[in-house]
Structure 1
Amino acid sequence: MVRHEGKESFAVDNKAGKNGADSNRLHAPEARPGVIAAAVYQNGKRICDIPIGDAHHWRQKENTVIWIGLHEPDSVLLAEVQSEFDLHPLAIEDASHAHQRPKLEIYGDAMFVVARTAHMMDGEIIFGETHLFVGRGYMVSVRHGPSTSYNLVRQRCEASPAALAHGENYILYSILDFIVDNYMPVVEGIHEEVEELEERVLRDMLDKKDIERLYLLRRSLLRLRNAIVPLVDVCRRHEHLELPGMDATLHTLFRDVTDHVRRVQEDIDTLREVLAFTFEASLMIGQSEQTEITRKLASWAAILAVPTAIAGIYGMNFVDMPELHMRYGYFAVLATIFIVCGGLYRFFKKARWL
């Protein structure tokens, strides 16, 4: 957390900076691959953009925070950032390799936070990863994979200098809140598709394509849940523990993020249960239809077995069969067949097999 005692004037900061704030405004650092933004803020107001190599000139200034945003930086850029902010080697090693589990690590008076991002693209959940280095007077965010840019977070923070004056931990809260808020559209999009599948299973039997989509949705929700659940612990630790530089006034904000994460987790669990019930309902409906078809086939087979059996007996062509010499024997046999088949049909109809 940036301390506010002993505030220095902007003129003093201007002299102490490498090129001066006005000079930096006029001569912004050249764009560098992997660097999205690198700016200095004093008392919540943006002073200037700086090159990464000038960060150490601003670190020790009162009420000043350096906010750097990186996207898939190479090892050279990460090594430079490590040198400027004295970052722990293990944290740098994790930041250089994506696919880390969401977590919070404390290295002395600095924190290293890993969070997973998610957004919808062509009906599929696309996951990204964000690594956050938080220390006294600085915030470094490292994005890996496809994810929403944090420029919107920066704009919101800059629009509220009083809140941004709380320093790096307020920026941490803003980024985590932004990540969690982006989970909402993903869950809502899946919710609409789940409702459609749920209504369809009651109207028609799901086909193979629907079953495959149902399975993919359950798998995507499981991956999303695995990304969110560890984040609950990360936010809870910010809410209750005395982390380095944490202002007690920010505990309420992190508690709000924790509530949002838990709500998303509950929605995911609910959707997974609904998908499971939908799949089970589809199986039960399919089995019910198969059973009904089996009953109909069995009923007709029993009915047709009567004339088949009688015709088979008379097809043996024995001479000693009294009915062959009866005047009305043929009609008597036909009548017997119709009576027996009719009785069987009525029985199966009453039993609701037909």
Structure 2
Amino acid sequence: MGAVVNCAAYADGRRVANVELNAINQILQQPDKFIWIGLHEPGEEILERVQDEFNLHDLAIEDAHTAHQRPKIETYGESLFIVLRTAQMNSEEHCIDFGETHFFLGHNFIISVRHRSTLSYAEVRARCESTPHLLRKGPGFALYAVMDSIVDQYFPVIDALERELEILEENIFKKKTSRETTAQIYWLKRELLSVKRAVSPLIDVCNRLTRFDLELISEDTRPYFRDIYDHVLRINEMVDTGRELLNNVLDANFSMISISQNEVSKKFAGWAAIIGVPTMIAGIYGMNFKFMPELDWQFGYPLALALTLGSCMILYLFFKRSGWL
């Protein structure tokens, strides 16, 4: 079955056998073993078989099948249902690819269900199998290992968004502002908001996993979830800082646009004043009064022309020195 990525039995922290779905019940009856199953985009048939084998709740199975869930943790009888959102930076399409991973956790089993995520957990499983002294803690440690891998994937995403923010700041203060700059700012705000929605609920999830009312998480495993909790808090703070910086960048962008518009307005006003001088002089001589002594004077034309050019030059130098031109 293509949806079943891995299904194995573990005893004393070591893999003892690969197991078929129809043989799971035999392993579950052995108290010294636990099952670790990895599913990728499973169909209804496989989820129903898993539900029957592990006695999972209908609502949890429905959520695992439809996906599109916000991060959460729910208790159904003797099992936990946990939802996490995965994030990867897509450099080709210049966006963040979000997926989901759902977990079913019991005393002797852990099931992970991946949706819309290309990141395999084979490496995480291999790391756990290489440290049997930790994996013997049971399904709780396997849950920690996968959750820690998912949370750590957010750091490269945040780093990529911070680099985009640095480029934006340089463009705003070193280059002319444009519509593309404003659009990029709003794109970054939208991406950070998406990360915020994925990370913020994890604070409550990790907090609950460290509490003593969840018997499925052994006492010696809870400190590991506190480590994830610290990472989630750090990521959440980084997102909040990035969003605050983006608001400042947006204000700076609008300020630079306003300054640029004012510069253009000053140039228009300066040239309008310069052009107004010859217009005024030409208007005076165009009134066609009968008695205008300078019309009969032989130096009248050169004087009017010199006055026009001189006045325009004086105004030009004045506006140039004032920074209007």
Q: Name the TM-score, length of structure 2 as normaliser.
A: 0.94
Other-structure match for 2:18: 49
Other-structure match for 1:120: 89
Query: Helix, strand or coil: the match of 2:216?
Result: coil
Q: CA separation in 1, counterparts of 2:264 and 2:95?
A: 38
Q: How does 1:150-161 map to 2 (within 5 A)?
A: 150-161=121-132
Q: CA separation in 2, counterparts of 1:184 and 1:147?
A: 17
Q: CA separation in 1, counterparts of 2:238 and 2:212?
A: 27
Other-structure match for 2:80: 111
Contact 1:129 1:147 in 2 (8 A): no
**Structure 1 residue identity aligned to 2:19:** I
Q: CA separation in 2, counterparts of 1:217 and 1:304?
A: 46
Other-structure match for 1:91: 60
In the alignment, does 2:139 pair up with 1:171? Answer: no
Report deviation, 1:347: 4.1
**Structure 2 residue identity aligned to 1:138:** F
Contact 1:40 1:46 in 2 (8 A): yes
In the alignment, does 2:166 pair up with 1:191? Answer: no
Structure 1 counterpart of 2:291, from 320, 326, 333: 320
Q: CA separation in 2, counterparts of 1:259 and 1:205?
A: 41
Percent identical residues: 44
In the alignment, does 2:177 pair up with 1:216? Answer: no
Contact 1:109 1:244 in 2 (8 A): no
Q: CA separation in 2, counterparts of 1:240 and 1:85?
A: 24
Query: Helix, strand or coil: the match of 2:34?
Result: strand
Report deviation, 1:339: 4.8
Other-structure match for 2:47: 78
Q: Name the TM-score, length of structure 1 as normaliser.
A: 0.86
Query: Helix, strand or coil: the match of 2:98?
Result: strand
Report deviation, 1:36: 0.3
In the alignment, does 2:272 pair up with 1:301? Answer: yes
Report deviation, 1:248: 1.5
Q: CA separation in 2, counterparts of 1:209 and 1:286?
A: 13
Query: Helix, strand or coil: the match of 1:240?
Result: coil
Other-structure match for 1:141: 112
How many residue pairs were aligned? Answer: 323
Other-structure match for 1:204: 175
Post-superposition Cα deviations, 1:222-245, rounded to whole Å, max 9, x if no partner, equal 111101110111011112342132
In the alignment, does 2:244 pair up with 1:273? Answer: yes
Query: Helix, strand or coil: the match of 2:154?
Result: helix
**Structure 2 residue identity aligned to 1:220:** E
Other-structure match for 1:17: none
Structure 2: runs of 5+ lacking an equivalent: none
